[in-house]
Amino acid sequence: MRKEKWIGKYTDPSTSTTYYYPFKYKTRTSTSPIEYSTLLRLAEIYLIRAEANTQLGDLDAGTKDLNLIRKRAGLNGIETLLSPITEKNLTVAILHERQVELFGELGHRWIDLKRTNMIDDVMTAEAVKKGSTWRNDAKIGPFHKLKLIRTIN
């Protein structure tokens, strides 16, 4: 349901190329849609709690919170995909749910990749798909250079 309701699509008539874009918070009741800014959603709170409970070893509580989000999205409980449920595979499932639930929102994916130390692996794989290479210093961002310049001057 998320893919159907939250992703807009545009097909360029001159090339027949289809482009997809986030379309999550548009009100579709008027002729010119309005987009609302959402900084913190209940789904994010449940996913944070699911991850925290899982890291604390309470897999039942982590599973319950994750399933609340999956059910709202029209998906089956995570038990149908994971057997047995372990801390590692439940954490992976929660991070994936964060990826699909919070896409296009305030850089959540980037922050998740950085805080879980997965950024180099994921970005290297993406770069290889595109025939490119990932420079692991890119994860620092452009602002570290400003700090260095100020320190030198």
Domain ranges of the chain: 2-35, 42-116
> Domain spanning 42-116 has what CATH number?
1.25.40.900
User: What is the model's pLDDT at position 142?
Assistant: 56
User: In which band, very low, low, confident or very high, does the pLDDT at 91 lie, cut at 50, 70 and 90?
Assistant: very high
- The chain-wide mean pLDDT, for the chain, equals 84
Q: What are phi and psi of 18, to 5 degrees?
A: -100, 130
User: In which band, very low, low, confident or very high, does the pLDDT at 93 lie, cut at 50, 70 and 90?
Assistant: very high
User: Do residues 58 and 30 touch, judged by C-beta distance below 8 A?
Assistant: no
User: Do residues 101 and 43 touch, judged by C-beta distance below 8 A?
Assistant: yes
pLDDT in tens, 33-61: 666 666 778 999 999 999 999 999 999 99
Global pTM reads 0.69
Cα separation, 14 vs 105, in Å, equals 31
CB contact set of 1 (below 8 Å; sequence gap of 6+): 73, 74
User: What is the model's pLDDT at position 75?
Assistant: 94
Rounded (10°) CA dihedral 110, 97, 41, 44: -80
User: What is the model's pLDDT at position 27?
Assistant: 62
- CA-wise closest residue to 63 among 42, 47, 40: 47
Angle at 145 between CA 105 and CA 136, to 5 degrees: 65
Q: How far is CA 84 from CA 15, 55, 80, 97, in A?
A: 47, 16, 10, 18
